[in-house]
Amino acid sequence: MKILVVDDEMISREKMKMIMSHFGECEAVESGAEAVEKFVGAWNSWSPYDLVSLDVQMPEMDGVDVLKRIRGMEQDKNVPESKRVKVVMVTARSDKDTIMTSIQAGCNDYVVKPFDKTIVAKKLTQLGFHVKLF
C-alpha cells in the first residue's frame, strides 16, 4: 500500500507516519500544496497513492481544499470510484460541521486527534485494507 500523510504539525505528522509505515510505503508532507504536488506526481509516474491521511486544519490550503483538488483530478482523469484514493481526514475538531464538510468534500472517513495505532488500524480495516495490529 502506498500512503501519503499530510499534516502541518510536525508531531502529528511524524506520529501518523510512524503508524502508517507499518501498513505500507509511507511519505509525509507538511502542506496542502506539497500534498497536491505529490499526488499529481504519483499519478504522472503511474504509481498513485492508495491512501491519504489529510489534516483538516492547515495554513494556506486546508485539508478540505486539498481533498477537493484530489477528487477533481480523479474526476478529470475519469477514475472510477472503486479505484479512487481513500482519504482519511485527521482533525482535532470533532464538531458536526467539520465532519460534514469533510464528508461532503469526498473523504472516506475521519480520525479525531489524539489518535493511536489501534484507532488507525480499525479505520483502515473499515475502508477495506487488510492490516494487522502490531
pLDDT digits (tens, 9 = 90+) for 18-40: 999 999 999 999 999 999 999 99
Q: Show the domains of the chain with their CATH numbers.
A: 2-126 (3.40.50.2300)
* pLDDT, tens digit (0-9, with 9 covering 90-100), for 43-100: 999 999 999 999 999 999 999 999 999 999 999 999 999 899 999 999 888 788 888 8
pTM of the full structure: 0.93
pLDDT band with cut points at 50, 70 and 90 for residue 133 = low
CA distance 50 to 107: 13
Question: Peptide bond before 114: cis, by omega within 30 degrees of 0?
Answer: yes
Name residue, grid cell 508531531. Answer: 11
Distance, in Å, from the CA atom of 85 to the CA atom of 80, rounded to the nearest integer, reads 10
CA angle 21, 58, 71 (to 5 degrees): 70
What pLDDT score was predicted for residue 120? 94
Residue for grid cell 499534516:
7
